Amino acid sequence: MPANHLYIGGISASDLVHKYGTPLFVYDVNHIRENARSFTRTFESLGVNYQVAYASKAFSSIAMLQVAKQEGLSLDVVSQGELYTALKAHYPVDKIHMHGNNKSLEELEMAIENEIGCIVVDNFYEIERLNELLEKHQTKMKVLLRVTPGIEAHTHDYILTGQEDSKFGFDLSSGQADQALETLLNRERFEVLGVHCHIGSQIFETHGFIMAIRKIYETLDHWKNRYDYESVVINLGGGFGIRYTNEDEPLPLNEYVVKLVKTVQSECKTRQLNLPEIWIEPGRSIVGEAGTTLYTVGSIKNLPGVRKYVSVDGGMTDNIRPALYQAKYDAVVANKVNEPLVEQVSIAGKCCESGDMLIWDLEVPKIESGDVLAVRSTGAYGYSMANHYNRFTKPAVVFIEDGQDHLVVKRETYRDIVQNDLSFE
Segment interacting with ligand LLP, rule: CB under 6 A, options 81-89, 255-263, 275-283, 295-303: 275-283
Kindly write out the interface string for residues 225-244 of this chain, putting x where it contacts ligand LLP by CB under 6 A and - elsewhere. ------------xxxx----
With CB under 6 A as the contact rule, the residue among 14, 61, 80, 201 that binds ligand LLP is 201
With CB under 6 A as the contact rule, the residue among 76, 82, 313, 405 that binds ligand LLP is 76
Question: Which of residues 263 and 319 has its CB atom nearest to ligand LLP in the complex?
Answer: 319
Clarify whether 197 is annotated catalytic.
no
Q: Residue 146: phi, psi to the nearest 5?
A: -80, 125
Does 394 bind ligand LLP (CB under 6 A)? Our answer is no
Question: Which of residues 16 and 55 has its CB atom nearest to ligand LLP in the complex?
Answer: 55
With CB under 6 A as the contact rule, the residue among 60, 206, 285, 393 that binds ligand LLP is 285
Q: How far is the CB of 236 from ligand LLP (least distance, A)?
A: 9
Burial degree of 412 (CB within 10 A; 0-12, 13-18, 19+)? middle
Q: How far is the CB of 189 from ligand LLP (least distance, A)?
A: 23
Q: How many CB atoms lie within 10 A of CB 318?
A: 27
Question: Which of residues 229 and 325 has its CB atom nearest to ligand LLP in the complex?
Answer: 325
Q: How far is the CB of 56 from ligand LLP (least distance, A)?
A: 9
| Nearest residue (beta carbon) to ligand LLP | 238
Q: How far apart (Å, rounded) are the C-alpha atoms in residues 42 and 261?
A: 10
Residue list for the binding site: 239, 281-284, 321, 325, 353, 381
Catalytic residue among 118, 268, 351, 352: 352
Q: Is the N-terminal amide bond of 23 cis, ω within 30° of 0?
A: yes
For residue 69, give the nearest of 50, 43, 88, 44 by alpha carbon.
Answer: 88
Question: Which of residues 202 and 393 has its CB atom nearest to ligand LLP in the complex?
Answer: 202
CA distances from 261 to 39, 206, 219 (A): 12, 11, 18
Kindly write out the interface string for residues 374-393 of this chain, putting x where it contacts ligand LLP by CB under 6 A and - elsewhere. ------xx------------
Q: How many residues bind ligand LLP (CB under 6 A)?
A: 22
Kindly write out the interface string for residues 289-328 of this chain, putting x where it contacts ligand LLP by CB under 6 A and - elsewhere. --------------------------------x---x---
With CB under 6 A as the contact rule, the residue among 58, 83, 145, 357 that binds ligand LLP is 58
Q: How far apart (Å, rounded) are the C-alpha atoms in residues 250 and 233?
A: 27
Question: Which of residues 238 and 250 has its CB atom nearest to ligand LLP in the complex?
Answer: 238
Q: How many CB atoms lie within 10 A of CB 401?
A: 16
| Subset of 97-156 contacting ligand LLP (CB under 6 A) | 99
Name the DSSP class of 385: G
For residue 345, give the nearest of 303, 314, 400, 377 by alpha carbon.
Answer: 303
Cβ(149)–Cβ(239) under 8 Å? Answer: no
Q: Is 178 helix (H, G, I), strand (E, B) or coil?
A: helix
Question: Which of residues 14 and 60 has its CB atom nearest to ligand LLP in the complex?
Answer: 60
Cβ(117)–Cβ(94) under 8 Å? Answer: yes
Q: How far is the CB of 58 from ligand LLP (least distance, A)?
A: 5
With CB under 6 A as the contact rule, the residue among 100, 282, 349, 379 that binds ligand LLP is 282
Residue list for the binding site for pyridoxal 5'-phosphate: 239, 281-284, 381
Which residues 6+ apart lie within 8 Å of 249 measured at CB?
Answer: 204, 243
CA distances from 318 to 30, 83, 393 (A): 23, 22, 9
CA distances from 209 to 15, 36, 53, 203, 336 (A): 43, 20, 17, 9, 42
Residue list for the binding site for substrate: 284, 321, 325, 353, 381
Burial degree of 371 (CB within 10 A; 0-12, 13-18, 19+)? buried
Q: How far apart (Å, rounded) are the C-alpha atoms in residues 257 and 50?
A: 11
Does 283 bind ligand LLP (CB under 6 A)? Our answer is yes
DSSP per position, 368-394: -TT-EEEEES-SSSSGGG---GGGPPP
Catalytic residue positions, numbered: 352
Interface ranges with ligand LLP (CB under 6 A): 55, 58, 76, 99, 159, 161, 198, 201-202, 237-240, 281-285, 321, 325, 380-381
